[in-house]
Amino acid sequence: TLGGLPNPALQTVLRLAGEGNVRLWVNGQEAGEYTLAASEATRVPDIDLEAGANPVLLSWEPASPSSTLSLVFEDRDRQPEITFAFS
C-alpha cells in the first residue's frame, strides 16, 4: 500500500471468459458471483494476492455441456501473468 491506498503497480485483475455462472473466492474471501457470456470477458478488479500461497476457489455452472471457462490473472496494464483454461 501507499499511504493506506493500494499500490497500483501491485494490483492484479482476474479476467474470466466463457459461458455460465461463476462464484469466486480468493484467500478465503468471497470475491463475487458473475454471469459470463461468450461475447465478452468479465474482469474482477484488484484481486488481493499476497506473497506466498493464494488459494483461489471457483464454483462454475456451465451454460451448456460444451461451455468453456478461462481465467487470466493480469497486471494493471492487462498483461497476462498466469492463465488457466477448462472445458
pLDDT digits (tens, 9 = 90+) for 6-19: 666 667 888 999 99
Distance CA 87, CA 83 (A): 14
Residue 60 confidence (pLDDT)? 95
Between 18 and 77, where is the model more confident?
18
Residue entry with cell 492463465: 83
Instruction: State the Cα angle at 83 between 14 and 5, rounded to 5°.
Output: 30
How much of the chain is in helix, strand and coil states, percent to nearest 5? Answer: 5, 60, 35
Confidence category of residue 3, pLDDT binned at 50, 70, 90: low
pLDDT digits (tens, 9 = 90+) for 29-52: 898 999 999 888 998 876 777 767
pTM: 0.77
Give the pLDDT confidence score for residue 5 in this predicted structure.
65
